[in-house]
Structure 1
């Protein structure tokens, strides 16, 4: 047990907690091309969960003390995985593409892209239930995307060498 702990400590492993953002940042501003983008709402909720001050209000903090996350419109694709013997689609792979830009004060914007994937089984006999299930799956994918964006902030800050 002691050997495993020392090996993990030696390689730089640390437990994930709240992202470490530079101390000189007061606010995380979230900007989106669409006013009521679902990913923007999910991101605001995740900021609250992580205990970070942020949202969509401008003029809350001086420009030199705020981090800006600019969200591009979300992308959702379906890839066919399997079909029933009747030719109807049985299973899809949902691909939720997230493209965003982070701007730390005094640095050039950093653009990032990633995908969140889920398998989704379709049943033509359960159209209403499957429609509701699809909405729930998409909501979970947005929450995962928002969580991933926030967790990446500390890594991006470290790469830029901002004042941590």
Structure 2
């Protein structure tokens, strides 16, 4: 298993898989926002993103962008190590947002406080540049069910756990190789 994870980071297919996972999660969220949603009366309802959802989208976009860089640089040892380290930090950031979403979903702690506006830097107003993707349109509430009672936040929790495990183990193996 250790050998497999060591060689994963050297594979363009691995980095493509990370990109596809992020793209599918982003696409799924946009599908729920812009296409899907029928209430009990058969009326179309759209699931609008809250502040935490938008921050989750930003983290996923960053992970996807760095995965593209990983595809390009995966054969260069030091660049691969840097990308693995950056990805680990990005997934930790994503995990923090997912934890806040879990607090909203299960109403524990401070409940995952939320505003009706994303707090982007003035020099990078993603909500103005890409309003269909990054504009806050609702207050925080439980995420919609995807399959049965399995919600978006459950899926994000699984993806964070998987990505964090793979990136940490792969990065550790990469850095251990330099000591031997």
TM-score after normalising by structure 1: 0.28
Q: Which structure is higher in RCO with an 8 Å CA cutoff and minimum separation 6?
A: 2
Q: Which is helix-richer, 1 or 2? A: 2
TM-score after normalising by structure 2: 0.26
Higher Cα Rg: structure 1 or 2? Answer: 1
Q: Which is strand-richer, 1 or 2? A: 1
